[in-house]
Structure 1
Amino acid sequence: MGLEILRNEIEKAGPSTVHKLYEWAAKNPDKKFLYYGEDDRALSFAEFNTATNQIAHFLKSMGIVKGDSISVYLFNPFVTSVVMIGIWKTGAVFCPINFSYKGRLLSYQINDTAPKALITEQSRVSFLNEVKSELPALKVLLRKPKRDEHDHRVDSMELDRKFEQIDFDDMLKGNGANLDTEINYWDTASIMYTSGTTGPAKGVVHSHRWISQYIFPSRLVTHEDDVKYSDLPMYHISGAYAAVARVIWTGSNIAIWDRFSPSDFWNRIHRSGASSASLMDVMMPWLMNAAETSKDRYNSLKWVHMQPLPKYHHKIARRFGFDVVTVGYGSTETGMPIWGCIDELEGEEGTPGELYRGLPKASIFRIFQEYGYPVFTGTEELKKGIMGKAVLFESAILNERDEILGPGGYGQLAFRSKLSFGLMSGYFKKPEATLEAHKNQWFHTGDACYRDENDIYYFIDRMGNFIRVRGENVSTYQIEDILNTHPGVEVSAAFPIPAQEGDEDDIVVYVLLKQEGGLGEDELRNWITAEMPKFMWPKHIRFINAFPQTATNKIEKYKLKEIILKELASN
């Protein structure tokens, strides 16, 4: 499909999520928009539109103007959804904070964003009070859950008087009329922070156009009758945009819960009638580990996005009757520039007809192909790390001199947007980091990938996670992926340290066992010898009771490296 057609498609859809909400609230005011499973509560498009208007009018009465940053430190995704759209309706910037942050992580992000106000809830008060000396005298809109709400807690801690406390409920009592704020596609919509494993986190600046391109592939095939299930956090692009924003753009329906529950997942799908969901890596094994029943296929989920795509994707799709599986490459900086689709069941029925919602699966595959996205079959052998094709972006694999590599060449994945403001607008207040990421007019993802002769892209590992051993580039991802298949291993972490001899690396692995003492080093080494090529064998193996982690649950390998180097030096 030509660039001009794609550009027209994006522009025809409108400049922002706010415009789409106004449109659907006028067209289908009584249609259910959002169902919140934790409190068994639902809002129609009209009700949601009114609530977000009330919040916007209140914020404007506080002096909030277009371009101001508003920090949002909330756990409740229902409330966060209303707040996010209300902020956008003023032209202000949605700045979500990971609800597990406290201490320096919390104060750093608030101070870096420099918000005009902060919206939070009672359960976060103690964390704010702990860092009060590091924060300015903020205006804090404080939500106190009511007794009939599931997140009500008996918590008498008061917000420190340094902060100007404002009752959150006051925002929902005023003017519910639509606003006339001018919102352009190039205006800043949000600042979302990446995890910092080796330094301070960076705020990624998103335009309203960025959100539109991020959800472009998924909204192509989302019908008004579809129901999106989400249990992903709203401080992440997957929860805020791939779920909530996408449903607003398409006039469909969303059912949200606070967090994933393997024991309650299918009950939630049945309650909501969800037709699509996203399953992250840890979720799929939990679902597959449940005992099989004759009713596994009797559910309404026709379309599941799997990221990353597991080797057993076809097995899980056949068991639960997923007609459509999508894959892709997504990041906070780039959105979803690469996308692909798998026809898992081909001519076989997956979702029972009486439960099926939205476009027929044949139409879904046809639309993806018309726009240039690849459609694979579930029975074909798909290479590990498969992601799909880029449509709205120029894409390339670059070497260390930013020269484009041909098919099969391993290098860094890079993009150029074909649309203005299609990529992130930059790293907030970090111009040097922004320029470095965009050097030579390519956005450098920091991910090692390759492409094949059909321009299908494959993920290998994060750059810097290569280990040079015996003349081979070894991926830490590959080592961990193999180790984690051992029945006694819960999770592992691999990384390099300087080799005792020569200029290459020695491999170190730290292992968390499913049962403490259930596996010895000799036994594990014997297993590794049988499962891995020799150049991947670790020089050092250590067992650990708990991994050091960032606030977003990423293993802090640099801390493990410090431990092993200190140990080896002392010996």
Structure 2
Amino acid sequence: MIACARPSEDASIPGFDPADIPLEQRRIGPVLSMRARTDADRPFLTIGGRTYTFRETDRQARALARGLARRGLERQQYLAMMLPNCSEFVFAWFACALLGAANVPLNTALRGPMLDLPFKDSGARGLIIDRALVDAIGTLSEEVRGQLDWVAVWGGLEGLALPAGPKEYLDYRDLPLADGPDPERETDFRDVQTVFYTSGTTGPAKGVQTLNAHQFSTASGFVRAVGLTRDDVVYTPYPLFHAFAARLAVLPSLLAGAQVHVGARFSASRFWEQAAQCGATVAQITPGTSRILFERPPGPHDRAHRLRALFNTRADAAFEERFGVRLVEAFSMSETGLVIYTRWPERRPGSMGRVHEDWQAQLVDDKDLPVPAGQPGQLVVRPRLPYIMMQGYLNRPEATVAAFRNLWLHTGDIMRQDEDGYFYFVDRAKERIRRRGENISSYDIEQAAGAHPDVMECAALPHPARDGEDDVRLVAVKAADASLTAAQLADWLAERLPRSMVPRYVEFLPSLPRTQTDKVEKVRLIQAGLSAAAWDREAGGAAP
């Protein structure tokens, strides 16, 4: 039984704060079981046109856990998942948590070497995949395909051309076991629950090992930031394979006993209508998408909704007045979860809030020395409680040590802090590219572009866009006598990269500036800005 806040041990009571769950009891299994008892017939998960109660969700997750255990999934082993937003994603996530295993959610746009990496890192021997994505298996290396003991295909096997390599393919419907003993194992708040792959700025993507206690800390912060109660309905149109939708929508709803409605994808033209249709009171949004919504012409659904809060973007008085909703800002990253926020309904305009009660934070200069109040510095953080941040980057000990320089996690984000302890975002590390709420690896773009036979060398850079976000800029050097055009290179990359990574700006230079140690000097390119010869993909008619 979950030991919850007094005056009662029932986590469904009004005013229950998930942060009051004792640290050692912060595990999905016991909370899911408790919700199945105390809120059995209340709606929890609405997705794909169907609503699942807490009891149904618990039953589905346990049936799948039995099937995964039969397939040999052991505690702290890894299960790869390549699924769109669907109920099976949530059931698989929770099933892994019941078994003490770790799930590895994969971006559905990944192919080739970028998809190889998480399999090699984790050693995952099982994969649950949507039938529409099965072709991605054929882009994996022979080594990785041979690593897979089984692949469960959601949507069935009929009519599919199955890539060779995995030892067995099965219909997902044959994986769950409805009958049998309770599959839940003894788990620990220190267990790795999920490995999210976050894009690096100077190297390949890194697997962030998030623990049970880590995810609970993040989810409880969200509950406080938006004042979430069991009477709320949370709407997210973002992919579940990202931490944003999983840790900051689904899990908080489970903890608070609220309902979560997961859309298929973000649609600017239908956002308000979809939020109204599901009766949402709280929804997710990113800075880039908030601007897109504001720039659309007025429509009948602008205020025909029940939304009281949109998380996570900066306050904007004009936006709030037009749509009748409060914008809530906080600071969260995959490595830490939510570490800066303001408890609902408080806020200070322009500020992300103050440091989470379970964290320490300070701003430092390039020598890691604290800066005075009001001066910009890099945000560094560390937890007050054990195991509430990432265990480290999976199989990346050097990157882990570098991130924790001087016993503080360096976020790479520049902020300032006022005398009252409120933080204000200023800028981000120069080589990070952030487009529509997603961090993008310059390294991955450079590896893809560098594989073109007419590209001698290249550099992927951020170019300032609206609302503090970036567009992707690629600067390249062509091979001698090559006739390659910027548009041709962009089209070539569009076939090999996720859409968010395809450069908006492409330009060719005779050479790239280099440091004394022969590294490309990206700072000089950024400071110089776009050349007159830079090609703009959006101006050329491509979709933004």
TM-score (norm 2): 0.76
Equivalent residues of 1:34, 1:43 under 8 A apart = yes
Q: Residue 19 of structure 1 aligns to which amino acid in structure 2?
A: P
Counterpart check, 1:437 vs 2:443: no
Aligned partners of 2:74, 2:321: CA distance in 1, in Å? 51
- 1:203-352 matches, within 5 Å, as 203-220=207-224, 221-293=227-299, 296-307=302-313, 309=314, 313-322=316-325, 324-340=326-342
> Which residue in 2 is equivalent to 1:403?
369
Q: Residue 32 of structure 2 aligns to which amino acid in structure 1?
A: L
Report the CA distance between 1:12 and its aligned residue.
7.0
> In the TM superposition, what whole-angstrom CA distance separates every residue of 1:196-231 from its partner, at most 9, and x where no partner exists?
343211111111000011112222321111111011
Report the CA distance between 1:465 and its aligned residue.
5.0
Counterpart check, 1:566 vs 2:511: yes
> Which residue in 2 is equivalent to 1:472?
none
> Which residue in 2 is equivalent to 1:375?
347
Q: 1:546 to 1:395 in 2, by over 3 A?
A: farther
> Which residue in 1 is equivalent to 2:414?
448
> Which residue in 2 is equivalent to 1:521?
none
User: Displaced runs of 4+ in structure 1, greater than 3 A?
Assistant: 4-8, 176-180, 476-484, 491-497, 544-552, 554-557
Counterpart check, 1:166 vs 2:159: no
Equivalent residues of 2:462, 2:471 under 8 A apart = no
Report the CA distance between 1:238 and its aligned residue.
0.8
Q: 1:229 to 1:546 in 2, by over 3 A?
A: farther
SS in 2 for 1:412: strand
Counterpart check, 1:105 vs 2:114: yes
> Which residue in 2 is equivalent to 1:49?
58
Aligned partners of 2:104, 2:177: CA distance in 1, in Å? 24
SS in 1 for 2:340: strand
Equivalent residues of 1:229, 1:276 under 8 A apart = yes
Report the CA distance between 1:449 and its aligned residue.
1.8
Aligned partners of 2:182, 2:324: CA distance in 1, in Å? 42
Equivalent of residue 204 in structure 2, options 176, 179, 200? 200
Aligned partners of 1:254, 1:176: CA distance in 2, in Å? 29
SS in 2 for 1:95: strand
Equivalent residues of 2:45, 2:261 under 8 A apart = yes
Equivalent residues of 1:228, 1:255 under 8 A apart = yes
Aligned partners of 2:300, 2:21: CA distance in 1, in Å? 44
How many corresponding residue pairs?
Answer: 458
> In the TM superposition, what whole-angstrom CA distance separates every residue of 1:446-465 from its partner, at most 9, and x where no partner exists?
12222122211122222235
Counterpart check, 1:128 vs 2:137: yes
> Which residue in 1 is equivalent to 2:149?
139
> In the TM superposition, what whole-angstrom CA distance separates every residue of 1:270-314 from its partner, at most 9, and x where no partner exists?
22111100111232233223332566323111111133x16xx21
Aligned partners of 1:275, 1:336: CA distance in 2, in Å? 21
Aligned partners of 1:436, 1:96: CA distance in 2, in Å? 25
Aligned partners of 2:420, 2:509: CA distance in 1, in Å? 43
Equivalent of residue 188 in structure 2, options 177, 184, 193? 184
Q: 1:45 to 1:246 in 2, by over 3 A?
A: same
Which stretch of the first structure deviates more once superposed, 10-19 or 68-77? 10-19
Report the CA distance between 1:555 and its aligned residue.
6.4
Q: 1:132 to 1:320 in 2, by over 3 A?
A: same
Equivalent of residue 414 in structure 1, options 371, 375, 380? 380
Report the CA distance between 1:560 and its aligned residue.
5.7
Counterpart check, 1:23 vs 2:34: yes
SS in 1 for 2:241: coil
| Structure 1: gaps spanning 5 or more residues | 147-152, 342-363, 366-373, 377-381, 467-475, 485-490, 498-511, 517-543
SS in 2 for 1:404: coil
SS in 2 for 1:387: coil
Q: Residue 151 of structure 2 aligns to which amino acid in structure 1?
A: L
Report the CA distance between 1:479 and its aligned residue.
4.9
Report the CA distance between 1:141 and its aligned residue.
3.3
Aligned partners of 2:181, 2:376: CA distance in 1, in Å? 54
Report the CA distance between 1:330 and its aligned residue.
1.0
Equivalent residues of 2:106, 2:241 under 8 A apart = yes
Report the CA distance between 1:118 and its aligned residue.
1.3
Equivalent residues of 1:69, 1:113 under 8 A apart = yes
RMSD, aligned CA: 3.4
Equivalent residues of 1:461, 1:477 under 8 A apart = no
> In the TM superposition, what whole-angstrom CA distance separates every residue of 1:484-524 from its partner, at most 9, and x where no partner exists?
9xxxxxx7557999xxxxxxxxxxxxxx9xxx9xxxxxxxx
Equivalent of residue 71 in structure 2, options 62, 65, 70? 62
Counterpart check, 1:460 vs 2:426: yes
Equivalent residues of 1:78, 1:256 under 8 A apart = no
Q: Residue 97 of structure 2 aligns to which amino acid in structure 1?
A: W
Q: 1:248 to 1:89 in 2, by over 3 A?
A: same
> Which residue in 1 is equivalent to 2:436?
none
Equivalent residues of 1:437, 1:444 under 8 A apart = yes
| Structure 2: gaps spanning 5 or more residues | 7-16, 433-460, 477-485, 515-532, 534-544
Report the CA distance between 1:32 and its aligned residue.
1.0
TM-score (norm 1): 0.73
Q: Residue 320 of structure 2 aligns to which amino acid in structure 1?
A: A
> Which residue in 1 is equivalent to 2:440?
none
> Which residue in 2 is equivalent to 1:72?
81
Q: 1:45 to 1:8 in 2, by over 3 A?
A: closer
Equivalent residues of 1:77, 1:233 under 8 A apart = no
Counterpart check, 1:388 vs 2:333: no
SS in 2 for 1:282: helix
Aligned partners of 1:244, 1:35: CA distance in 2, in Å? 10
Equivalent residues of 1:334, 1:423 under 8 A apart = yes
SS in 2 for 1:102: coil
Q: 1:436 to 1:252 in 2, by over 3 A?
A: same
Q: Residue 56 of structure 2 aligns to which amino acid in structure 1?
A: E
Equivalent residues of 2:155, 2:171 under 8 A apart = no
SS in 2 for 1:26: helix
Q: Residue 185 of structure 1 aligns to which amino acid in structure 2?
A: F
Q: Residue 298 of structure 1 aligns to which amino acid in structure 2?
A: A
SS in 2 for 1:19: helix
SS in 1 for 2:500: coil
Aligned partners of 1:243, 1:483: CA distance in 2, in Å? 24
Aligned partners of 2:142, 2:125: CA distance in 1, in Å? 18
Q: 1:430 to 1:293 in 2, by over 3 A?
A: closer
Q: 1:295 to 1:76 in 2, by over 3 A?
A: closer
SS in 2 for 1:215: helix
> Which residue in 1 is equivalent to 2:453?
none
Q: Residue 509 of structure 2 aligns to which amino acid in structure 1?
A: I
Q: 1:162 to 1:335 in 2, by over 3 A?
A: closer
Aligned partners of 2:250, 2:81: CA distance in 1, in Å? 16
SS in 2 for 1:115: coil
Q: Residue 67 of structure 1 aligns to which amino acid in structure 2?
A: Q
Equivalent residues of 1:195, 1:552 under 8 A apart = no
> Which residue in 1 is equivalent to 2:45?
34
